[in-house]
Structure 1
Amino acid sequence: MPKPAKIDPNVSIATDARASPEMVRVWDRVVRSFHWALVLSFVTAWLTSHSSEDIHHWAGYAAAALVAMRLLWGVLGTPYARFSQFVRDPATVLRYLSALLSGREARYIGHNPAGGAMVIVLIGAMGSTALTGWLMTTDAYFGVPWVEAAHSLAAHGLLLLVLFHMGGVALASFRHRENLVRAMITGRKRKAEPADIA
């Protein structure tokens, strides 16, 4: 009869908590759907700006509707979706950016102060781009040079903001050892540790 295998008391049978951290739900389905639908509408509008006027317009209308929905959900939504949870005063944002530059920034479970500010700026820029694009289709403003210039400026400014946003996501993912793109797909992040801000 074979001898039972010996169990080494120095080896834990349980999974190492650092290898498999406990996760918590942060981003609800509405926030995640909004985020990726807005990405799709922006990319579609950008790629069709000189090739398909109809698709470009509908992508802009979709973006405007998404922005309106997000503004509503920012007031009525789940805790981490609400503006009151992540919109902070300019002094707090500046302190966070200063800590970021020195490598001492805290990890936030929801949006960090810079990320929260970026959400507001991106919503404003997307709304401005959609509004000026719509104005260009009206009888009153069709062909008006300053409206066309404003739409182009808003669209190019939005692209720049999107690139900054992507850089910030990459930096925060690296610094805090978590994949924020995956978190915006699954809705889950590593639970708060003692030094983190929930």
Structure 2
Amino acid sequence: MVAVANQTSGRASARQVAVWDPLVRLIHWSLAMTILLNGAFVEEESTTHEWVGYIALGLVGLRLVWALIGPGHARFSAFPPSPRRAVRHLKAMLAGDRSVHLSHNPLGALMAYNIWASVIAIGVTGYMMTTLTFFGVDWVEEIHEAIFNWLLLSVALHVAGVAFDSWRSGINLVRAMINGRKIIPDGRDVK
């Protein structure tokens, strides 16, 4: 169910739509924190690094389960991974379309799946490095580091995409990921 409320500030009016529930927001910001911690602050070969990595993996696992059983905007069906839809969305944006997607837009959906897959791959290769079979095996460590570098690039593109879409749509997406509500300017088509 979508909760919509009219909100008036000055001359412009907008609709406020509840989109991301508390668990989605908690997982999002916690995952961002684990990536930041392991990428910038925690010693790479430490036990803390391993545990932060396991927490990140657990957060993605929880998010994937929530995408099956959670509320409407959290479900896979709200933002299916579709390269075809992403290309159509990109063409529409280039043509000046300023429509609003209640969940992730098609490009954002692909990025979410990409980030989740990257964290899973990092977690798997990180775990492999702790086993007797793969401990000290160079190619596993190289793959682990390459995927982490891909994740950092993906996060940078994600942040840039959020900034661009906030500008394009007139919706503060960071605020929406903090309070769970998008404030949609009147006259915007909603998808």
One fold, TM greater than 0.5?
Answer: yes
Mapped contact 1:106–1:195 kept (Cα < 8 A):
yes
Mapped contact 1:109–1:196 kept (Cα < 8 A):
no
Q: Please, which of 148, 161, 164 is the counterpart of residue 168 of structure 1? A: 161
> How many angstroms does 1:116 deviate by?
0.8
Mapped contact 2:13–2:186 kept (Cα < 8 A):
no
Question: Which structure shows the higher strand fraction?
Answer: 2
Q: Does 1:39 align with 2:6?
A: no
Q: Does 1:24 align with 2:25?
A: no
- Check 1:176–1:115 CA distance in 2 against 1; reply closer, same or farther (3 A cut): same
> How many angstroms does 1:145 deviate by?
0.9
- Alignment of structure 1 residues 99-178 onto 2, 5 Å: 99-178=92-171
Structure 1: 5+ residue stretches without partners = 1-13
Amino acid at match of 2:104: H
| Cα distance in structure 2, aligned partners of 1:162 and 1:28 | 22
Q: Does 1:70 align with 2:69?
A: no
Report the number of matched residues: 185
| Cα distance in structure 2, aligned partners of 1:72 and 1:41 | 19
- Check 1:192–1:117 CA distance in 2 against 1; reply closer, same or farther (3 A cut): farther
Structure 2: 5+ residue stretches without partners = 1-6
Relative to structure 2, which stretch is displaced further, 47-56 or 33-42? Answer: 47-56
- Check 1:69–1:173 CA distance in 2 against 1; reply closer, same or farther (3 A cut): same
Mapped contact 2:14–2:185 kept (Cα < 8 A):
no
Give the TM-score normalised by structure 2: 0.89
Give the TM-score normalised by structure 1: 0.86
- The alignment partner of 1:110 has SS state of coil
Q: Please, which of 155, 165, 175 is the counterpart of residue 182 of structure 1? A: 175
Mapped contact 2:122–2:144 kept (Cα < 8 A):
yes
Cα RMSD, aligned residues only: 2.0
| Cα distance in structure 2, aligned partners of 1:59 and 1:86 | 28
| Cα distance in structure 2, aligned partners of 1:75 and 1:193 | 32
> How many angstroms does 1:90 deviate by?
1.8
Amino acid at match of 2:152: L
| Cα distance in structure 1, aligned partners of 2:87 and 2:94 | 11
